[in-house]
Amino acid sequence: MMETARDVVAAALRPALDAAFPDWAAGGAVLEVERPKDPSRGDYATSVALRLTRHLRRPPLEIARAIRDNVATGEAVAAVEVAPPGFVNVRLAPGWLARRVETIVRAGPAFGRSTGLAGRKVQIEYVSANPTGPMTIANARGGPLGDVLANVLAFAGADVQREYYVNDAGTQIEVFGKTLAVRYRELQGATGLEIPEGGYRAEYMIDLARQLRDELGPSVGDGVSLEELGRLLAPRAIAILVAGHQRVAERFGIRFDHFTYETALMASGYFGETLADLRRRGVVEDRDGAVWLKTRELGEDIDSVLVRSTGVPTYFGVDVAYHRQALTDRGFDQKIDIWGANTHGHARRMKVAMAALEIGPKWQVIIYQFVRFLHEGVLVKMGKRTGQFLLLDDVLDAVGVDATRFFLLQSSADRSLDFDFELAVQQSNENPVYYVQYAHARIASVFRTARERGVEWSDGDLALLDHPGELSLIRACLRFPELVRELSETHQVHQLTGYASELAGLFHPWYKANRVVTDDVPRTKARLRLLDAFAVTLRQTLGLLGVSAPESM
RNA sequence: GCCCCCGUAGCUCAGUGGAUAGAGCGCAGGCCUCCGAAGCCUGAAGCAACGGUUCGAGUCCGUUCGGGGGUACCA
């Protein structure tokens, strides 16, 4: 596992702290090493002296000085300084920083990888859009979030499965089928039929009916009731829509390793097994002909129905079984669901159910707030049933895959986003993703120039990289492995876009101010090696984001 | 009513309890005989309000006021 620069600093500070204050840790403080916002203060800093003031009953500056006096400077740590009110600032040796270029280039596609989560089997479930309509920009937000989280966790060594759950049973499917049957009959010339209550009024249902008629022949469903026709048509329609979800997801750079169908889960008998387990644990109650999970006793406001009085399990009931299966029979150590904000009530009940099954700590949910859809500046309520929505396909046509992914990954999941289609099209060329990609393309262009002039730079002397700007670029690269480790714990993957912008924001001014390929051959070579490392870092970052790193644009 | 998320620059958003709060767009002005101007430089402009915890709060806690979502034998 690669040691980060932060680790190196911590390893230098810890013995100093131990030597100066042998019992420092007894107060519960931990040695945290951070990057000062103002780089002139140093490369890394710790506020541990401030935190230890109470425990050691000594002034923070005095503690800080004692730490400083005990640090052994060396190859990496060049200087340690104390600043009021009690910070200990650490400066890394320029030569050591410059030599990191070699490490980064040699690591290449492995730069930032780690084994921190090795041996951990994680399932990430995301998108899982209802199979009753096409993929919209609202469903789509979970895609990049889940995909990038999967990338990050796999990068940190976990064994990750990307899972998609197809909710192809239940009341909504009945309504869906009935709507479809109505549209189908209409194609056969029927009039005066009503779309059922809560049905799917959107245009795509008519297209779907037409497609099914062409596929199955015009006489399908002759002589059967509307309900029966619905049950006949729904499975085929769902297959078409799920295939569509897969196609558009793939276009969006999102793949899945495994699909679970609710109908298959039901057919397996696993639901009954789960219900029996819950009964054994005494958290189930039969009342009014239905089967309830006693969520009320477990801290919720109301109980939750697992099986309706009709004998049909609820979505919640089946979902509990599905989660139990993943976290027991399928052997995952952890399951992370990426769900939309409308599921938070469901998520609360699920949490209770998982706790009752004693698998609570293994399950985690990331709830993302919705993407609100503005049309010509006016907020539009999206809903498949109402027919008002913005298709992911249309967004990708107009804005492009990279820009859409980057846009959706710029804010944290728990913040709602506004997507103004017209504005997005108009501004698609101003998306920050191009700023980042342009940095990569520019570096590629510098390499082309160097090659044209016959410069071979692999033997460049890194010791020549001693300008502040050059060292800043290296420092920025060294943050990448630190960030990956952080994200593997916090799951705040949107920070990768900010980091990518930071990299580009350092590069462009430096590029403007410094010519790389010049008559000074030694310096040219050293700088080309630096850019090699920088390009590696950009590619690694964009790679985790699922955004391309173009050689030219 | 109760529950969840969010109020940071004109707009869209960043900001692991640390030192002087950032970016993009927009706005005002400047920069291509030089590896790509999808770029660079300069400027104006901000933590909703009030309490609390802390050596230190945009960040944690409480209240108020705004915005979004949820609260079914729907999914």
For each of the domains in chain A, give its residue range(s) and CATH number, in order of start: 5-92 (3.30.1360.70), 98-116+431-545 (1.10.730.10), 121-169+253-280+312-368 (3.40.50.620), 171-251 (no CATH), 371-429 (no CATH)
Percent of chain A clearing pLDDT 90 (strictly above): 73
pLDDT band at A29 (very low <50, low <70, confident <90, very high): confident
Chain B bases having any atom below 7 Å from a protein CB: 1-7, 12-16, 18-26, 34-36, 38-41, 55-56, 67-75
Flag whether pLDDT at A194 surpasses 60. Answer: yes
For residue A247, the model assigns a pLDDT of: 95
pLDDT for A385 equals 60
For residue A468, is the peptide bond before it cis, meaning its omega torsion is within 30 degrees of 0?
Answer: no
pLDDT (mean) for A19-27: 85
- At A420 the pLDDT is 77
Which residues in window 175-214 of A are less than 7 A from strand B by Cβ?
A: none
Pairwise pLDDT comparison (A229 vs A222), residue with the higher score: A229
Residue A498: CB less than 7 A from any atom in strand B:
yes
Per-residue pLDDT tens over the stretch A2-11: 689 999 999 9
pLDDT of residue A39: 83
User: For position A383, what pLDDT does the model report?
Assistant: 63
Average pLDDT over residues A502-507: 94
A552: nt with nearest C1' to CA: B36
Is strand B within 7 Å of residue A344 (CB)?
Answer: yes
pLDDT for the residue numbered A384: 62
Is the CB of A429 within 7 Å of strand B?
A: yes
In A245-393 the beta strands, taken as DSSP E runs, fall at: 258-261, 284-287, 290-293, 304-307, 334-340, 363-368, 371-375, 378-380
Q: What is the ipTM of this complex?
A: 0.94
Q: pLDDT digit string (tens) for A343-395?
A: 888 999 999 999 999 999 999 999 999 887 777 666 666 666 666 678 899 88
Q: Measured in angstroms, what separates residue A83's CA from nucleotide B55's C1'?
A: 14
Q: Which residue is nearest to nucleotide B5 (CA to C1')?
A: A414
Residue A429 pLDDT > 90: no
A247-252 average pLDDT score: 95
Nucleotide nearest to A340 (CA to C1'): B69
Sign, CA torsion A259/A138/A212/A190 = positive
Q: Please check whether strand B approaches the CB of A364 to within 7 Å.
A: no
pLDDT given at position A2: 64
By C1' distance from the Cα of A413, the closest nucleotide is B5
Cβ of A130 near strand B (distance < 7 A): yes
Contact A184, A193 (CB under 8 A): no
Q: Which nucleotide is nearest to A53 (CA to C1')?
A: B55
CA dihedral A411, A414, A415, A421 (to 10 degrees): 70
Structure-block tokens of residue A428: 């698609």
Whole-number pLDDT of residue A201? 85
State whether the beta carbon of A514 lies below 7 angstroms from any atom of strand B.
Answer: yes
- Asked if A355 CB < 7 A from strand B, the reply is no
User: Is residue A47 within 8 Å of A34, Cβ to Cβ?
Assistant: yes
User: Is the pLDDT confidence value at A198 over 70?
Assistant: yes
If one counts every other C-beta atom within 10 angstroms of the C-beta of residue A39, the result is: 12
Is residue A369 within 8 A of residue A417, CB to CB? The reply is yes
Q: A32 CA to B16 C1', in Å? A: 10
CA of A47: nearest nucleotide by C1' is: B18
